[in-house]
Amino acid sequence: MTSELSFEEIKKHTDKTSTWIVINNDVFDVTRFLNEHPGGEEVLLEQAGKDASEAFEDVGHSSDAREMMLKYKVGTLVASERKPEQPKKSTVDWKETSESSESSLKSWIIPVALGLAATIIYRLYFMS
Ligand code: HEM
């Protein structure tokens, strides 16, 4: 259903009447979404016709946002123009990714646990 698109085609859609952006090698038509984007239409228009993967990841979009964008997908980049996958993206090869996702989970747990411990100590000693 989705088609393979090249930047030659994508670059034709860079204004409010038709706005396409590329995120992680997928092409999105966000024209209908411009008004609804919580981050504003300007940022999307700025990225129109371009690869916005980095800008998109920098914002730290929620999983809701990632789900929402599927509605706007119109195709994928042609193989010759694709970039290597961002490590964050959940694609097919689970065996290969399981190790890295495990270690990223660990790297979250430690700071969160420290933060919790600090909060508890603070409350016990300073707020009674
Ligand atoms: C189809 C693509 C996109 C979708 C569906 C989307 C969706 C969203 C959603 C739902 C939020 C609210 C916060 C959250 O749930 O994470 C958000 C916030 C934001 N987005 Fe996007 N976004 C897209 C692309 C982009 C791109 C390409 C950029 C940057 C160039 C961008 C910049 C921002 C910014 C700066 C915010 C933060 C607004 C704030 O916290 O005040 N977004 N986006």
Q: Residue 17 sits in a domain of what CATH number?
A: 3.10.120.10
Q: Is residue 102 part of a domain?
A: yes
The closest of 33, 86, 98 to 56, measured between CA atoms, is 86
**Number of structural domains in the chain:** 2
CA of 57 to the centre of ligand 1 (A): 9
**Quick one: which atom of ligand 1 is closest to the CA of 30?**
1
CA of 37 to the centre of ligand 1 (A): 6
CB-based pocket (< 6 A), ligand 1: 21, 28, 30, 37-39, 43-44, 47, 52, 55-56, 59, 61-62, 64-65, 68-69, 72
Residues 58 and 112 in one domain: no
Residues 57 and 9 in one domain: yes
Residues 107 and 47 in one domain: no
Q: Which domain holds residue 38?
A: 3-81
CA 72, chain centre distance (Å): 13
DSSP E strand boundaries for 12-96: 14-15, 18-23, 26-29, 73-77
The closest of 85, 111, 87 to 99, measured between CA atoms, is 87
Residues 70 and 101 in one domain: no
Q: What is the pLDDT of residue 107?
A: 79
**pLDDT averaged over 10-residue windows placed end to end, the chain, 128 residues:** 89 97 97 97 97 96 96 96 70 54 73 92 83
